[in-house]
Amino acid sequence: MAKQLGFYIDVSRCIQCRTCEVACKVTRHVEPGIKWRKVVETCAGEFPHITRSFFSKSCMHCAQPACVAACPTGAIRKRTEDGIVVVDREKCNGCRECLSACPFDVPKFGADGTMQKCDFCIESGEVPACVAPCPAEALHYGTMEDGPPLTTNKLAVKLGGPTSPSVIILRHPPVIGDDFSASMPLPDDTGVHSR
Listed as ranges, residues in the chain with pLDDT below 50 are: 177-184, 189-195
* pLDDT tens for each residue of 107-117: 999 999 999 99
User: Quick one: pLDDT at residue 174?
Assistant: 65
pLDDT score, position 180: 40
Spatial CB neighbours of 178, under 8 Å, sequence gap ≥ 6: none
Query: In angstroms, rounded to a whole number, what is the distance separating the alpha carbons of residues 53 and 184?
Result: 7
CA 106-112-114 angle, to 5 degrees, is 40
- Fill in the amino acid letter for 115: M
Query: What are the Cα distances from residue 54, in Å, to 8, 18, 26, 47, 174?
Result: 13, 10, 21, 19, 17
5-61+120-192 topology per CATH: Alpha-Beta Plaits (3.30.70)
What is the three-class DSSP state of 88? coil
Per-domain residue ranges for the chain?
A: 5-61+120-192
Taking the alpha carbons of 99, 108, 171, 49 in that order, is the dihedral positive or negative?
A: negative
| pLDDT number for residue 51 | 85
